[in-house]
């Protein structure tokens, strides 16, 4: 659109001359003469690229008077004319820029904080000069935003990462996470997975008793990847709020999830795996708003409800130690020490990531867990970290076994099956219908009796499917959906618990 084609309905009002360009036309002319470029992202959202001092910036185009584009336009007009741009004229200009973006045919790949394109990872530092780190299999370098193929945008709450420096050590982070060596390595794995820009992310879960600095650890882990003005969030009220939060940040953190809503575990899994979310668009009857985002997630104060969901299969569970009173330090002192090591630690993580990207095409695993991408990435990263081959795979297996044991402790059906194995000397097998299994379980009830026991064969089968993944991690061979041709294709449940598998030494059951 040419600036002279823009009509201003207020032109000549208030006694001004009707001759000459309107303020809106003048503002549009200044915008295009400044080198501003309108374009669309892959989702069809209009954007504007502008030059500010010695760098370029990318902003979403909105007619909102408080938006970054609106403020840029006001500043540009004042610098060019010495006058303030009226709000009505500003709104006209912004709406015309949006129309120009829609008509331009220019489409660019956008992202927030981290984007992976092929074998290259781009990390937006969110610095005032709009610098981006480019990580390739050959190493990493810092480039201007206008020199990379990804057009990064920012939310107002996103803060700057420090400019990374070389010759740092990942181990310098160790004093800031009060946990064992193996648990610290899980934190390192989560950071690398987040920085890799894959579309599958593990969920980092901090646990520990009161005084173990769970919230502080959550904040530090997030700061390594995606610092934010509000680093710790409370549970959102509904799924829509969760996915909107994910569109406005890269990492999601939730503090003290002691009583999460029922929908949260599945929604978090959808975010970790880039599943997407669709809902009715606001103020419409038949239009959908689709959210397609993948987000690294950090949780603390996690409840049993979360560990019993599919989220448990994707969790890197870290147990923090309680900090003795004599070792406690003021928050501002700890934060200053953390910020002091952060540039070198960031450089160390980027070194490891570059090495992993170099080795990744040659990595094959004997078996792949639910976190297949993370497992492969960490196998490629282990040489640069100085870890023995297979270190992460072993850590993840043990973490999953720990989660499985935690699930079993709080699940009456799992406890009943383990009790049958205990009474059988550590070995127990079953093959039969759900009705037959329910009859067997009828003589084995926890003490005290659980508030919810599968009330029917169908409910029993459903419950077996829910706890099946955790039971398998504990040594069970389980198939709740078998078929038996001799019984007119009746569903047959098969369970087997080998003698060498762990079984509880303390019974929670009364002998019948």
Q: What is the pLDDT along the chain (512 residues), one digit of tens a residue?
A: 555 445 444 444 444 445 567 899 999 999 999 999 999 998 899 999 999 988 999 999 988 888 899 999 999 999 999 999 999 999 999 999 999 999 999 999 999 999 999 999 999 999 999 999 999 999 999 999 999 999 999 988 999 999 999 999 999 999 999 999 999 999 999 999 999 998 789 889 898 888 889 999 999 999 999 999 988 888 888 887 887 888 888 999 988 876 777 788 778 887 877 665 555 544 444 455 555 577 899 988 766 555 555 677 788 889 899 888 888 889 999 999 999 999 999 999 999 999 999 999 999 998 887 788 999 999 999 999 999 999 999 998 887 777 677 666 667 788 788 888 888 777 888 888 888 888 888 777 655 555 556 778 888 888 888 777 777 777 788 888 776 555 555 667 888 887 655 444 434 444 44
**170-405 fold:** Rossmann fold (3.40.50)
Q: How far is CA 445 from CA 409, 410, 435, 478, 494, in A?
A: 14, 14, 16, 20, 20
Answer whether 345's CB lies under 8 Å from 168's CB: yes
For 155, how many CA atoms within 13 A lie in the half-sphere containing its CB?
A: 18
Cβ-based neighbours of 414, under 8 Å, separated by 6 or more: 407, 408, 467, 470, 471
Can you say how many angstroms the Cα of residue 273 is from the centroid of all Cα atoms in its chain? 9
Instruction: Report the distance separating Cα 441 and Cα 463, nearest Å.
Output: 13
Q: Please state the pTM of the whole predicted model.
A: 0.80
Joined together, the tokens standing for residue 6 give: 């823009």
* Residue listed under structure tokens 């867990």: 369
Q: Cβ–Cβ contacts within 10 Å for residue 443, how many? A: 9
- DSSP 3-state assignment of 150? coil
Answer whether 433's CB lies under 8 Å from 481's CB: no
How large is the greatest C-alpha to C-alpha distance in the chain, in angstroms? 100
**What is the residue extent of each domain of the chain?**
3-107, 110-152, 170-405, 411-497
Q: How far is CA 226 from CA 48, 50, 108, 291, 493, in A?
A: 24, 24, 23, 20, 47
Joined together, the tokens standing for residue 460 give: 């029993």
Joined together, the tokens standing for residue 65 give: 């008077």
Cβ-based neighbours of 470, under 8 Å, separated by 6 or more: 308, 312, 403, 404, 407, 408, 411, 414
Answer whether 157's CB lies under 8 Å from 229's CB: yes
pLDDT of residue 334: 94
Instruction: Report the distance separating Cα 151 and Cα 512, nearest Å.
Output: 68
Cβ-based neighbours of 42, under 8 Å, separated by 6 or more: 107, 109, 110
Q: Cβ–Cβ contacts within 10 Å for residue 3, how many? A: 19
């Amino acid at each position: 659109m040419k600036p002279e084609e823009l009509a201003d309905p207020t032109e000549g009002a208030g006694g001004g001359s009707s001759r000459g360009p309107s303020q809106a036309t003048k503002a549009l002319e200044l915008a295009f003469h400044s080198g501003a470029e309108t374009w669309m992202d892959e989702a069809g959202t209009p954007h504007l690229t502008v030059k500010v001092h010695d760098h370029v910036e990318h902003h979403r185009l909105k007619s909102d008077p408080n938006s970054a584009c609106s403020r840029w336009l006001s500043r540009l007009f004042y610098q060019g004319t010495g006058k303030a741009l009226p709000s009505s004229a500003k709104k006209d200009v912004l709406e015309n820029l949006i129309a120009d973006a829609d008509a331009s045919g220019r489409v660019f790949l956008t992202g927030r904080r981290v984007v992976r394109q092929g074998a290259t990872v781009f990390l937006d530092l969110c610095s005032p000069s709009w610098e981006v780190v480019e990580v390739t299999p050959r190493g990493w370098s810092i480039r201007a935003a206008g020199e990379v193929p990804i057009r990064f945008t920012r939310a107002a709450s996103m803060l700057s990462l420090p400019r990374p420096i070389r010759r740092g050590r990942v181990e310098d982070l160790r004093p800031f996470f009060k946990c064992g060596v193996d648990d610290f390595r899980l934190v390192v794995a989560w950071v690398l997975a987040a920085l890799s820009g894959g579309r599958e992310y593990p969920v980092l879960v901090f646990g520990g008793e009161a005084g173990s600095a769970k919230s502080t650890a959550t904040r530090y882990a997030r700061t390594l990847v995606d610092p934010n003005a509000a680093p710790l969030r409370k549970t959102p009220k509904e799924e829509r709020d969760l996915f909107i939060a994910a569109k406005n940040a890269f990492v999601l953190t939730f503090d003290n999830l002691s009583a999460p809503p029922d929908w949260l575990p599945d929604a978090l899994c959808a975010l970790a795996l880039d599943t997407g979310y669709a809902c009715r668009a606001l103020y419409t009857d038949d239009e959908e708003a689709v959210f397609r985002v993948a987000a690294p997630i950090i949780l603390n104060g996690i409840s049993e409800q979360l560990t019993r969901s599919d989220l448990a299969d994707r969790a890197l569970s870290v147990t923090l130690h309680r900090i003795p009173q004599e070792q406690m330090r003021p928050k501002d002192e700890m934060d200053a020490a953390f910020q002091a090591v952060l540039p070198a630690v960031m450089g160390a993580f980027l070194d490891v990531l570059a090495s992993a990207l170099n080795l990744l095409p040659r990595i094959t695993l004997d078996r792949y867990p639910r976190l297949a991408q993370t497992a492969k990435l960490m196998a490629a990263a282990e040489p640069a970290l100085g870890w023995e081959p297979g270190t992460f795979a072993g850590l993840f297996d043990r973490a999953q076994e720990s989660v499985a044991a935690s699930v079993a402790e709080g699940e009456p059906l799992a406890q009943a099956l383990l009790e049958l194995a205990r009474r059988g000397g550590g070995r127990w097998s079953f093959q039969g219908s759900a009705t037959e299994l329910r009859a067997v379980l009828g003589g084995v009830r926890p003490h005290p009796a659980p508030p919810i026991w599968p009330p029917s064969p169908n409910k029993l089968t459903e419950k077996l499917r829910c706890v099946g993944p955790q039971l398998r991690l504990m040594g069970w061979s389980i198939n709740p959906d078998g078929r038996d041709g001799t019984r007119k294709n009746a569903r047959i449940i098969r369970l087997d618990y080998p003698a060498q598998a762990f079984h509880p030494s303390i019974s929670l059951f009364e002998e019948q």
